[in-house]
């Protein structure tokens, strides 16, 4: 799909949000609608205009990456140019409530103070909703990022040794990812060993990895802006009975979810499919986070697969399935793979943990 078509879909959604135009400043949303991957710029979109407001550093880049957009060159604080950017616009103007700062909103308000005909309206999730359903070209990039992440997990399994620090292993993995085609890191790699693995978002530390303990490795790659997100739990040496038991339950929950999740389900129902397996095994309390999240230009985006999520799963949505069990003092096991809704059901995009022998070294 071209950027023109994406713009068209956005314009069609404006009336239902009761706005006549919208400002897009969230970086991934801006990139999705324009192709511009620079770090500063605001899109001003109405039914008949598409403007990119950016400063002199990015003007040439915008000309190349976003030929469908008029360029409005900004200088200094927003309060000085925002009114001019809007030109003759009047009516309700949406802004991204999840991204605009209080200071930014104050400046915009000040700039349009004289123009009574402009009303600033907070809007949430508009472009995020469009982004949730992936086009074939996007799926190709995500699958490419998933392949790199999967080979990085295989590499981690090959080089992990008791006595290495978490930080050493994380750095070796990051090097591998960068050398094998990942454009930077979509998020900081997690390497959490022993009791540290009981913290779902632990940071790699100077702790030395011990034999026979769980090591949670959560990493992602980025290809053409698109992310992947994959977790494996390794065990260098011989796993104890707890490891074997917990690992089987988590893997069972993931495979159950992969088999059950289908088009039309809500995020809450998807989450419940895996949660039921873990709860039945007696570890419901130890699975304290959501089952998964959408992945695309951002490592975490719509839909949300978790309690209370009414996000409906549609064909072309890409998301993670990442159940986990965390036992304070012992450690944790999490297995995360990526799936896509295709032909009405969830299909693995990253070859699930059951298919790759990541379990022990």
174 is an interface residue for Zn ion by CB under 5 A: no
The stretch near Zn ion (CB under 5 A) out of 106-114, 117-125, 162-170, 214-222 is 214-222
The stretch near Zn ion (CB under 5 A) out of 12-20, 70-78, 97-105, 218-226 is 218-226
Residue 191 pairs with which residues in a beta bridge?
217
Gap between the Cα atoms of 314 and 264, Å rounded: 6
With 0-12 / 13-18 / 19 or more C-beta atoms within 10 angstroms meaning exposed / middle / buried, residue 34 is buried
| Beta carbon nearer to Zn ion, 320 or 350 | 320
| Beta carbon nearer to Zn ion, 28 or 218 | 218
| Beta carbon nearer to Zn ion, 172 or 231 | 231
Cβ at position 291, least distance to Zn ion in Å: 10
| Beta carbon nearer to Zn ion, 216 or 246 | 216
Cβ at position 218, least distance to Zn ion in Å: 4
The stretch near Zn ion (CB under 5 A) out of 1-9, 55-63, 303-311, 312-320 is 312-320
| Beta carbon nearer to Zn ion, 96 or 336 | 336
Residue 217 in contact with residue 189, Cβ under 8 Å? yes
The stretch near Zn ion (CB under 5 A) out of 132-140, 164-172, 173-181, 226-234 is 226-234
What phi and psi values does residue 204 have, to the nearest 5 degrees? -60, 135
> CB under 8 Å, gap of 24 or more: what pairs does 199-204 form?
199/326, 199/332, 200/288, 200/289, 200/324, 200/326, 200/332, 200/334, 204/165, 204/166, 204/167, 204/169, 204/170
46, 153, 320, 352: which one binds Zn ion (CB under 5 A): 320
| Beta carbon nearer to Zn ion, 166 or 218 | 218
Gap between the Cα atoms of 361 and 351, Å rounded: 18
**Host H or E run for residue 279:** helix 267-280
Cβ at position 205, least distance to Zn ion in Å: 18
Gap between the Cα atoms of 335 and 75, Å rounded: 48
96, 138, 166, 218: which one binds Zn ion (CB under 5 A): 218
Cβ at position 321, least distance to Zn ion in Å: 9
Closest to 297 (Cα-Cα) out of 171, 135, 166 = 135
Cβ at position 241, least distance to Zn ion in Å: 27
| Beta carbon nearer to Zn ion, 271 or 336 | 336
Residue 320 in contact with residue 128, Cβ under 8 Å? no
Residues 6+ apart with CB under 8 A from 253: 274, 275, 277, 278, 287, 323
Cβ at position 112, least distance to Zn ion in Å: 40
Cβ at position 293, least distance to Zn ion in Å: 6
229 is an interface residue for Zn ion by CB under 5 A: yes
# residues contacting Zn ion (CB under 5 A): 5
Residue 42 pairs with which residues in a beta bridge?
53
| Beta carbon nearer to Zn ion, 92 or 203 | 203
Cβ at position 7, least distance to Zn ion in Å: 30
Site map for Zn ion, 132-171, x if CB under 5 A? Answer: ----------------------------------------
| 33, 101, 204, 288 from 201: Cα distances, Å | 31, 26, 10, 12
Residue 292 in contact with residue 321, Cβ under 8 Å? yes
Residue 143 in contact with residue 342, Cβ under 8 Å? no
* Residues in contact with Zn ion by the rule CB under 5 A: 218, 229, 231, 320, 336
């Amino acid at each position: 799909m071209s950027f023109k078509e994406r713009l068209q879909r956005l314009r069609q959604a404006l009336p239902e949000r009761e706005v006549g135009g919208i400002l897009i400043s969230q970086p991934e949303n801006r990139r999705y609608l324009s192709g511009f991957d620079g770090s500063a710029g605001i899109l001003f979109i109405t039914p008949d205009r598409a403007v990119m407001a950016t400063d002199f550093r990015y003007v040439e880049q915008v000309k190349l990456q976003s030929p469908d957009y008029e360029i409005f060159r900004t200088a200094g604080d927003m309060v000085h140019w925002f009114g001019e950017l809007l030109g003759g616009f009047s009516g309700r103007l949406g802004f991204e409530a999840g991204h605009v700062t209080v200071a930014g909103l104050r400046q915009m308000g000040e700039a349009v103070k004289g123009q009574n005909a402009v009303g600033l309206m907070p809007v949430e999730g508009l472009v995020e909703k469009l982004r949730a359903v992936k086009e074939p070209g996007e799926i190709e990039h995500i699958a490419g990022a998933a392949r790199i992440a999967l080979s990085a997990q295989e590499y981690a399994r090959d080089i992990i040794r008791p006595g290495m620090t978490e930080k050493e292993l994380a750095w070796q993995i990051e090097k591998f990812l960068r050398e094998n085609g990942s454009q930077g890191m979509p998020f900081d790699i997690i390497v959490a060993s022993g009791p540290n693995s009981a913290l779902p978002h632990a940071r790699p530390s100077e702790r030395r990895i011990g034999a026979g303990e769980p090591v949670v490795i959560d990493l992602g790659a980025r290809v053409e802006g698109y992310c992947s997100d994959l977790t494996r739990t390794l065990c260098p040496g011989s796993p104890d009975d707890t490891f074997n038991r917990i690992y089987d339950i988590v893997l069972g929950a993931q495979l159950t979810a992969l088999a059950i999740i289908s088009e039309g389900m809500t995020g809450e129902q998807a989450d419940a499919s895996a949660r039921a397996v873990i709860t039945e095994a007696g570890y419901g309390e130890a699975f304290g986070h959501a089952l998964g999240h959408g992945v695309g230009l951002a490592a975490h985006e719509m839909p949300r697969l978790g309690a209370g999520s009414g996000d409906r799963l549609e064909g072309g949505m890409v998301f993670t399935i990442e159940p986990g069990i965390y036992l304070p003092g012992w450690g944790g096991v999490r297995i995360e793979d990526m799936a896509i809704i295709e032909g009405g059901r969830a299909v693995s995009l990253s070859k699930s943990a059951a298919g790759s022998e990541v379990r022990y070294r």
